[in-house]
Amino acid sequence: MRKTTMWLTALLLVASSSFTCGDTATQSPEEVPKKGMVTLLDLGAKKCIPCKMMAPILEELKREYKGKAAIVFIDVWVHREEARKYGIRTIPTQIFFDKSGNEIFRHEGFMDKKSVVRELGKLGVK
């Protein structure tokens, strides 16, 4: 566990100083969790391989759950403070919040669409 934390910290420091990921470097991250709405927060990086694998899943979910749940991605290589704020140990990390803004479930690593849908369903999202 300690090696993973040290590796992630080093990776975040090196990567955040090396990559800018387009215009997202100047944008502030979205407010999370969304008020009154179940929220899935995915913390990762646009250049991370498992994060890239999740990107199309998140885009599909944004369309499918529009108005029902908020699906938010924050690039922690651009917004390092967000990694600290949410206590991220590895990327990607998905955090599920209920409508009241309480963290209900956290998952580290790639998460397939079926698993995401199952967790959203547990929070009452159809």
Q: In this predicted structure, what is the pLDDT of residue 28? A: 60
Q: Contact 96/108 with Cβ under 8 angstroms?
A: no
Please indicate whether residue 21 is annotated as part of the active site.
Answer: no
pLDDT level of residue 108 (50, 70, 90 thresholds): very high
Please indicate whether residue 51 is annotated as part of the active site.
Answer: yes
Domains by residue range for the chain, with CATH? 2-21+32-122 (3.40.30.10)
What tens digit of pLDDT does each residue of 71-99 get? 999 999 999 999 999 999 999 999 999 99
Task: Compute the average pLDDT of residues 41-69.
Answer: 96
Q: Please identify which of the residues 38, 48, 78, 83 carries the catalytic annotation.
A: 48
Encode burial over 34-62: b for 16+ CB neighbours within 10 A, e otherwise: beebbbbbbbbbbebeebeebeebbeebe
What pTM did the predictor assign?
A: 0.77
Percentage of residues of the chain with pLDDT beyond 70: 78
Q: Please identify which of the residues 12, 32, 38, 51 carries the catalytic annotation.
A: 51
Q: Contact 47/8 with Cβ under 8 angstroms?
A: no
